[in-house]
Amino acid sequence: MKDIPQGAWQLILEQKPDLSFDRSVAERVLNDRSFPHQVVALGELPTEAGLRELLATFRADSSREEFLQFYVEALGGEKAFE
């Protein structure tokens, strides 16, 4: 993965205001990319929770940004950053 600019997760959300939250895609990405703490956290979030609530469970911005890049790619096949 290429270097992701600091604060990239916020930039992605700003650039994609209509980014939907698909819980099953998020769960698949979390499992496939080895984010075990967030798999547990996702299971504990209410069903109406969204992407921002999931992102808040990450401890480090770098992990949050990495997940978000993989999530965007999984949703639409596009790269969040080139």
Average pLDDT, the chain: 85
pLDDT 10s digits, 26-58: 999 999 999 999 999 999 999 999 998 999 999
Q: Could you tell me how far CA 10 lies from the centroid of its own chain?
A: 11
> Is the model's pLDDT at 11 over the cut of 50?
yes
Alpha carbon distance 2, 80 (integer Å): 11
Alpha carbon distance 77, 7 (integer Å): 22
